[in-house]
Each structure stands twice: as C-alpha cells, then as structure tokens.
Amino acid sequence: MNTLGFATKEEAALTTLTLDVIKSSEIEGEKLDYEQVRSSIARRLGINVAGLAPTNRNVEGIVEMMLDATQNYQKPLTNKRLFGWHSALFPTGHSGMHKIEVGRYRSGEMQIVSGAMGKEKVHYEAIPAHQVKNEMDEFLNWFNDNSKIDLVLKAAIAHFWFIIIHPFDDGNGRIARAISDLMLARGDKSTERYYSMSSQMLVERKQYYEILQKMQHSSGDITDWLEWFLHCLKNALLTTEITLQKILRKTEFWKIHENTELNKRQRLVLNKLFDGFDGKLKSSKWAKIAKCSPDTALRDIKDLIEKGILGQEQQGGRSTNYELTDF
C-alpha cells in the first residue's frame, strides 16, 4: 500500500471502513445503505468524495463508534468510552421496537435465544447482572495493560471475553468487533485500515456462532476460538487483495482520463461501476442513478461510447446493456 499514491490509499481505506461498518451491522441482521455509510466516513475523515449522500442518526452513530475504535486506537478503553459507543449505536434509546438501557451496563439477566415463540432455544446465558461491573473492570484492566501477549491474539481473546460478559442490553456483537478492530490497529500501529474482519465474519457467520457457542460451554480452553479467529483474519487479508485490485483499476482509469471532458452524471455512474454495481447497466438505470431524463441518459452513454469508455454488451437481447471497455 505504501508504494501507492495518497489518493489511492485514501480510496482503499474509505472502501474498507465502509465495508467494515456495513458487514458488522449485517451480522446482526441490519442492512445499512452503502452510500450513506461511505458519505458519513468520508465527511468525518475529511476525504473529498463527489455526491455525498445525506445520512441518518443510526448510520452516524455506528460510523462514529468504528472510527473512534480504529483512529484512536492508542487511547485506553474505559467504561466511559464504551458507554459513549453504546449511546452512539442506539441514539433513540430503542433497539427496534424495544426500549433498552443505553450508555450503561445492563441491570437485567441476559439469554441468547433463537427460534419461534414457545420453541425458543437458549444458546447462552450470560453472567448475572450484578457481576457485570466487576467483570468489566477486570476485562478493561487486562485490555489496557502492556502485557507481552501478541496483540493479534489479544484481539481474539478480547472479542471472546467481551461476548461472554455480554454487558449491554443490545449491541454487544458490534462493540466486540469494534474492540478487536481497535486491538488489531494497535498491532498494526496504524490508523489505516485495508482489511475488514467484519466482512469475513459475515461470510463465516455460521461457524462464528457455532464456535462461540461451543467455547461458552467449554472448561476455559479457547484454543479452537483462537484458531478460528486467526483463520478468519487470514481470509480477510486474502479477500482484501481482491478488493484492492478493483481500487487500483479505478485509480488507473481516472489517471488515464484525468483530462477527458466528462460531466457530473457521467463521473457519478462511472464511479458506481467501479465500486461494485448490482446487475446490468441500462439507460433506464443510468437515468435513475443520475436523476435525469431517459434522453439525457442516452446522450451521456453515447458520448462515453464515442470516447471509447463504454461499449455495448455482446449478448444483446431486448434491452441494451453497457459495460466498461478494457483500458
């Protein structure tokens, strides 16, 4: 990454952080809007991105927590900081329809259950509420001390330990992942993020839950969990190589076309094609994305075909699809 220019590194970090936030929420079954998350991160990091989307409080809160974890990794983790993260995750004091205790440790008992009403399956019963504060104090003392343990292993242990305590009414999974991201950033000694553990955990979600459940009922030997975490980290790094290839391709394209005359709509849709586009590009889709008339969309597309940037897909069919030409 250090051999690349500043703009490319910025783009890579923005893409990685965006995926990290989105995938961490997706593990919990919550789907966030990609453009909103990307815009929120870009604004907070002062990255100049065209066409920033307006964001809501929910997105802002999750982004705030993830950036605090990765950008301020040197700062100690404290009760106060964790309460701030929790408040940011639940700005309305509700999780869905349910009112929850926000910005403080839970006062009620906690079970992790799944299944329909009357057929619930209890996966895990967290420690009693009256023990949470003492357990968290012990956890935070260990987390902040400068012991000789390798920081990648410490990230794995921290994630597991926090989940076992389950100190909040809700949001424990997302905060656990932010905690391990914080420790991994300490290990890297860098605020620059180019890989996403949450993205990989989403891919391996089934094993993630299985291994957590298995370990929670074990005698205290968490070797299987550490092994799973390290494999997940390795896979996250391998996946990053694919993501970075896309970013390098995008950077190369804009280097070639830095003096090509393109309007705002064309730049917007071209960037979308590089960032990962769902489905085929048709003139109707262009009009929708660029918020313009079908005629304007067709003119934009024809102009790009003349400039050799877009071409018609060979398959043809009833509607014409367009794709980027090789460059």
Q: What is the pLDDT of residues 225-242, one digit of tens each?
A: 999 999 999 999 998 888
What CATH code is assigned to 6-244? 1.10.3290.10
79-83, 212-216, 262-266, range with the lowest pLDDT: 212-216
pLDDT digits (tens, 9 = 90+) for 136-177: 999 999 999 988 899 999 999 999 999 989 999 999 999 999
219 vs 177, more confident: 177
Model pLDDT, residue 206: 87
Q: Is 156 exposed, middle or buried (0-12, 13-18, 19+ CB in 10 A)?
A: buried
Compute the distance between CA of residue 177 and CA of residue 41 in angstroms, rounded to an integer: 18
Segment 36-48 mean pLDDT? 91
Q: Find the largest Cα–Cα distance for the chain.
A: 70
Burial per residue of 41-69, b for 16 or more beta-carbon CB atoms within 10 angstroms, e otherwise:
bbeebebebeeeeebeebbbbbbbbbbbb
Segment 210-225 mean pLDDT? 85
pLDDT over threshold 80, residue 51: no
pLDDT over threshold 90, residue 47: no
pLDDT digits (tens, 9 = 90+) for 276-327: 777 889 999 999 999 999 999 999 999 999 999 999 887 656 678 999 998 8
Q: Which residue ranges make up each domain of the chain?
A: 6-244, 263-324
pLDDT over threshold 80, residue 256: yes
What CATH code is assigned to 263-324? 1.10.10.10
Segment 186-204 mean pLDDT? 92
Give the tokens for residue 43: 């604004």
Give the tokens for residue 57: 């409080």
Domain 6-244 and domain 263-324 have a common topology = no
